[in-house]
Amino acid sequence: MLGFLLITSLFVGCTSSIIDSNVEIADRRWTYRNHISTPFEIKDNTKAYNIYFKLRHTADYKYANIFILAHFKDGKKMETKRYQYKLAKNDGEWLGSGSGNLFSYTLPLLTNHRFPHNGKFEIEIEQNMRDNPLLEVSDVGILVNAAE
């Protein structure tokens, strides 16, 4: 019984997240102006954290990749990074996990990241594709959890 509790507590401890957001994109039309903003608080900056970009799109999404801009804000300064993620194999098969017509991805932004201080932070995501609006994007979000 003690072994089961220990294994359960380790599993629960590894899956705790600081923030796990998911924002629905209206009419599956993600425009340049529609930045998805996720505020969160870091209470222990001595730990390392993993930060992920979450995406869901329909089978009608017409690209095999996506470009985004991630704006990392800590109140005093902002740093912007551009990311490209591959969403499909060369033969067109989606890489995300599927559920009916929707495909979901949890894609790394920063791994083993150490925040400079405790306090409030914000990550803002904007689509950076040629199409405006970018069609068939269903949801966008951010996941921040401790890197254990």
For 83-106, how does the pLDDT look when each residue is reduced to its tens digit (9 = 90+)?
A: 999 999 999 999 999 978 999 999
3-class state of residue 116 by DSSP: coil
- 70: which residues sit within 8 A by CB, 6+ positions away? 53, 80, 81, 82, 83, 109, 123, 124, 125
Domain count, the chain: 1
Question: In this structure, what CATH number is given to the domain that contains residue 33?
Answer: 2.60.120
Question: What pLDDT band is residue 10 in, cutting at 50, 70 and 90?
Answer: very low
State pLDDT tens for residues 22-46: 999 999 999 999 999 999 999 999 9
Residue pair 67/129 in contact (Cβ under 8 Å)? The answer is yes
Note the pLDDT of residue 148: 80
- The alpha carbons of the chain give a radius of gyration, in whole angstroms, of 17
DSSP type of residue 25: P
Dihedral angle of Cα 12, 120, 38, 78, to the nearest 10 degrees: -130
Domain that includes residue 30, residue range: 2-146
**What sign has the CA pseudo-torsion 74, 131, 25, 105?**
negative
Share of the chain above pLDDT 90, in %: 84
- pLDDT, mean of residues 123-147: 97
Question: Is 70 a residue whose pLDDT tops 60?
Answer: yes
How confident is the model at residue 123, as a pLDDT?
98
pLDDT for 15 equals 52
pLDDT for the residue 2: 37
Average pLDDT value for residue range 108-124: 96
pLDDT, position 12? 41
Q: How many CA atoms lie within 13 A of 80 on its CB side?
A: 9
pTM over 0.85: yes
